[in-house]
Amino acid sequence: MDREAVPGAEVDGRRRIGRTDVLLADRRLAEAAGRLGRGVVKAAVVAAQHRARAGEIPPDAVADAAVASLPVTASGLRPVLNATGVLLHTNLGRAPLSDAAREAVAVASGATDVELDLETGRRAGRGRSALAALLERVPQAEAAHVVNNGAAALVLAATVLAPGREIVISRGEMVEIGDGFRIPELLSATGARLREVGTTNRTAPDDYAAAVGEETGFILKVHPSNFRITGFTRGADVGELAGLGVPVVADIGSGLLAPEPLLPDEPDAASMLKAGAHLVTASGDKLLGGPQCGLVLGREDLVRRLARHPLARALRVDKMTLAALEATVRGPRSPTEQALHADAGKLRERAERLAGRLRGDGVDAFAVESEAAVGGGGAPGVVLPSAAVSLPEPYAARLRQGVPAVMGRVEDGRCLLDLRSVPPGQDGDLAGAVRAAAR
């Protein structure tokens, strides 16, 4: 390491730990301050001085330690290799973006024509090309609108279509999304009243018909995206409710635009609209594999009312989200879609190859069969056959704290790195992270 980079370091007397301002003059740290900001680099220096005072590192290694601990970017968010086998991991930010979407985000992050027609020089509809992309993929929708997330799409629908009025909803569809957020409470917070119909396990079309009246704003169908009710059950299809004289809004959750043969129980926007739903709401960062956003697709007059409501301004998405969404919809298969469709035999080959390489480096690693899941509020109970590299349990914590961080899962006293949620191009990074954790 480059020690002479601290020219004539003045030292903190007895302990010989370099002074902060002197350390910050180190060429590498000065360069990093230009890139990451002085505050970020100073924090790394202070932490390294602390470690030296505690005797964890020699006093003359402070600059090196500070350099080694610098974050990748000026943000506290660190890159993580998702080896949990959960494709949409909520705590890891759900869907990872495709390269196409990342490039679109990078371009849109500067000044961009999000609301400008460069041809005429006049103002133009915000996000028009992203909306056009959605409508091309879902021709059954007359119009589309994009908000902050799936919850925002529901809030907007309730605010606009049922102000002070009733939303008719089945007792079997009163869903808690996660982290204590409940769709019924979200809807009530808008001032709409919930008119519950049916029972937990059975709700028939007649239950809806009996509840619809003067006070009805709309009927809401919520996809039970994170649980299943089986046994003596009965539900009403959108098609059976479309003729009751009030709008039917279908919250499909996952954001599938068209049917996905591998997940036959997951609803999709095109099929719902074809069946008669007047509006569909969904998340962009679940099975669609795009950025966090909420999609509203359906009848033109309804979509326009939502998009023109004052609240729409508070829920609107930024230019980078629009760019990522469009690139996801138009671009190549998203990482989520690729992971979902990954061949189990190929995953096994990757696991064998990776484990073999690691054993060659002296790591106690072997390939095992594994079970992956969609996660993140999609396809509950669906098991995706997968393969993993099995390591001794202590690797789990060490890998989590490495750079890049690797998140595996601990099962039966072993740390499993499930490859279905790791893009094949990152196997080398994964091997490198394990080797670093072995040291």
Ligand X SMILES: *Cc1c(COP(=O)(O)O)cnc(C)c1O
| Contacts to ligand X by CB under 6 A | 149-151, 175, 177, 222-223, 225, 251, 253, 283, 294, 377
| Nearer residue to ligand X within complex by CB, 184 or 331 | 184
Question: Contact, 147 vs 131, CB < 8 A?
Answer: no
Nearer to ligand X, 284 or 335 (CB): 284
Select from 424, 413, 353 the least CA-distant residue to 389: 353
Question: Coil, helix or strand for 327?
Answer: helix
Our CB check for ligand X shows the closer of 163 and 178 to be 178
In 3D space, the residue among 276, 281, 282, 271 whose CA is nearest the CA of residue 205 turns out to be: 276
Identify the sign of the CA torsion 174, 180, 183, 184: positive
- The residue among 173, 281, 294, 289 whose CA lies nearest residue 234 is 173
For residue 87, the minimal CB distance to ligand X (Å) is 14
- Which CB, 4 or 179, lies closer to ligand X? 179
Cα dihedral across residues 252, 254, 257, 261: positive or negative: negative
Report how far residue 439's alpha carbon sits from residue 425's, in angstroms, rounded to the nearest whole number.
24
Using a 10 angstrom Cβ sphere, with 0-12 exposed, 13-18 middle and 19 or more buried, the burial of residue 327 is buried
* Token output for 45: 């220096």
Cβ distance to ligand X smaller for residue 69 or 188: 188
* Residue recorded with tokens 């005072």: 53
- Smallest distance from the beta carbon of 116 to ligand X, in angstroms? 29
Between 181 and 259, name the residue whose CB sits nearer to ligand X: 181
In 3D space, the residue among 111, 114, 84 whose CA is nearest the CA of residue 96 turns out to be: 84
CB nearer ligand X, residue 99 or residue 181: 181
DSSP 215: T
Q: Please state, as a whole number, how many other Cβ atoms lie within 10 Å of the Cβ of residue 438.
A: 16
CA distances from 122 to 111, 243, 316 (A): 16, 43, 21
The smaller minimum CB distance to ligand X, of residues 90 and 426, is found at: 90
Q: How far apart are CA 324 and CA 322, in angstroms?
A: 6
Cα-atom radius of gyration of the chain, to the nearest Å? Answer: 26
**In this complex, which beta carbon is closest to ligand X, that of residue 184 or of residue 377?**
377
To ligand X, the closest distance from the beta carbon of 95 in angstroms equals: 11
The closest residue (CB) to ligand X is 150
Containing H/E element for 338?
helix 335-341
Identify the bridge partners of residue 169 per DSSP, sorted by sequence position. 196, 220
Residues 387 and 368 sit within 8 Å (Cβ to Cβ): yes
